[in-house]
Structure 1
Amino acid sequence: MTTAISDIVTLRARHPEAVAEAAARRRRRPLIGRSGRLMIVAADHPARGALAVGDHRMAMANRADLLERLCLALSRPGVDGVLATADVLEDLLLLGALEEKVVIGSMNRGGLAGAAFELDDRFTGHRPQDLTRLRFDAGKLLLRIGYEDPGSLNTLEAAARTVDAMAGRRLPVFVEPFLTRRVDGRLRNDLSAAAVTTSVAIASGLGGTSAYTWLKLPVTEDADEMARVCEASTLPAVLLGGEVAGDPRAQEAAYERWRKALRLPTVQGLVVGRSLLYPADGDVAAAVDTAVGLL
């Protein structure tokens, strides 16, 4: 990977148009493939300044290591694609790792982790026109709503206009909604069934049309509660994997929740990031294969 990184840097410095050229010749595929399911690996955390995995505060800071893990994950059977910001996706383009993969651009990264303005989550990543220009397949936006933080209103309005713009280009947009509040100065997402259901209702109504809107939802602790959450909308949904604790029993419990939720009629797949790229035992391939097996 060291040689590959050197080649990427050389291209970026001397031939920046190589990114557009790689995007233009990339072989694409439908969003939903033959399996009828989606398995997406997420790696858009660094652009929000969120580099930690478990107790390792700078785990995602090494770009060569991250790209190596991503290339391995994308090479595994059953993995459909990747969700990331422009810099990561363009590195993967130059490495040739996105052929016949679903490519989802991360759109709002302005709500930096731990910042006072975290809920005023500006769209500092991909714009709809960027996704069209690069021939990417979809976009993703994070919608955290704090009833006591006026910054959430700016994010809601920007998200609604982005839903409109994506629909105008016939591009799917994955909306990841949460109700959230500050505890000791830090944001905490409310994962209760009532809160997740409310966030689904709000996200489903964004914009002038929901024709191209998907939901990206966390899994509640209780499988029966998750069934009620998904009854709040007819929009197709993927499950947000989140971080899975290193304890094998906790891991198996999380996998079982995912397995049950994947049986629900609106749930179409999984989007998982750090749990697959940085598993406790270090075996990326095994972690990815386990997640694919749940589908």
Structure 2
Amino acid sequence: MVSAALERRRRLWLPEGQNNLMIIAADHPARGALRAGDRRMAMADRRDLIGRLRIALERPGVDGILGTADIIEDLLLLGALEDKIVLGSMNRGGLAGTVFEIDDRFTSYTAESIVRMGLDAGKMLLRIDPKDPATVRTLESCARAVDELAAAGLPAVVEPFLSHRVEGHVRNDLSPEAMIRAISVASGLGGTSAYTWLKVPVVAEMERVMRASTLPALLLGGEVPERPEETFECWQEALALPTVRGLVVGRSLLYPADDDVLTAVDTAVGLLSKGN
């Protein structure tokens, strides 16, 4: 598998003249998060998921994928990752719905394995729960990963949230003030931010929120929207902000309400040309 990975045709993270990235996200299953919209087990059919990913990756303007080793290696063996950016998802230990969800241990890729497999970047989730002491372990692990990826000259994509429990379930606070605080913490992780990117949701007052950091940021897609047109409009507005450099979207494009993956992906790609 390592030899196949190293033989893959790689491309630059951001080639000269390209301002934005379009990345397809597929790391949800490793956290036990299989829901897409009203389909509770949508991502449980691996062959179906891989098929949808192949459709998305073949569309013009799609730059790459974010995933865990199992998904990346399936696509690698199918030849679907040639000339694509591949981001390895690193901390998947905070399984959805568990009492230890905030303890997001690095149970998937490490910086060392990302380098060994010839991947192009690492992504980590950072949920900050002020009432859960497990938060500090995740903070420390993310800071170490930022340093290790930077030492290898690879981008570290950090996805920060301020989180809390509601009736036993972890919920992310998507208010502008909470996102500003989360972005501020994420931006300061590690001994250098030279290779750090952010992965953030589109929330209210995005212009004010994105002023919390000068780091480049990618927008995440989140849940499958009930009104996709409104979601696309919000993405387009956020893409016009100076530090926003593209999209990392999974379920919204892979499992749209009408199940038309091709059209959903093409619509999202079209927003990038209208953004920065």
Query: Can you give the 5+ residue segments of structure 2 that lack an aligned partner in the other structure?
Result: none
Post-superposition Cα deviations, 1:215-249, rounded to whole Å, max 9, x if no partner, equal 000101x3xx1001111111000001112323xxx
Post-superposition Cα deviations, 1:45-76, rounded to whole Å, max 9, x if no partner, equal 00000111122221111111010000000000
Query: Can you give the 5+ residue segments of structure 1 that lack an aligned partner in the other structure?
Result: 1-18
Contact 2:36 2:224 in 1 (8 A): no
Aligned-CA RMSD value: 0.8
Is 1:236 matched with 2:236? no
Is 1:30 matched with 2:30? no
SS in 1 for 2:76: helix
Query: Residues of 1 paired with 2:85 and 2:13: CA distance?
Result: 6
| Of 34-43 and 145-154, the range deviating more from structure 2 | 34-43
Query: Residues of 1 paired with 2:217 and 2:37: CA distance?
Result: 27
Q: Which residue of 2 aligns with 1:45?
A: 28
Contact 2:150 2:194 in 1 (8 A): yes
Is 1:290 matched with 2:267? yes
Identity of aligned residues (%): 63
Instruction: Compute the TM-score of the two structures, normalised by the length of structure 1.
Output: 0.90
Contact 2:224 2:255 in 1 (8 A): no
Contact 1:178 1:195 in 2 (8 A): yes
Structural mapping, 1:101-180, within 5 Å: 101-180=84-163
Query: Residues of 1 paired with 2:95 and 2:71: CA distance?
Result: 18
Query: Residues of 2 paired with 1:244 and 1:20: CA distance?
Result: 34
Instruction: Compute the TM-score of the two structures, normalised by the length of structure 2.
Output: 0.97
Is 1:227 matched with 2:207? yes
Whose radius of gyration is greater, 1 or 2?
1
Contact 2:50 2:75 in 1 (8 A): yes
Which of the residues 264, 271, 277 maps onto 2:248? 271
Structural mapping, 1:181-220, within 5 Å: 181-220=164-203
SS in 2 for 1:292: helix
Structural mapping, 1:79-94, within 5 Å: 79-94=62-77
Q: Read off the aligned partner of 1:186 and give its amino acid letter.
A: H
State the structure with bigger RCO (CA 8 A, min sep 6), 1 or 2.
2
Post-superposition Cα deviations, 1:24-54, rounded to whole Å, max 9, x if no partner, equal 2100000113432100000000000011112
Number of matched residues? 271
| Of 110-119 and 34-43, the range deviating more from structure 2 | 34-43
Q: Which residue of 1 aligns with 2:2?
A: 20
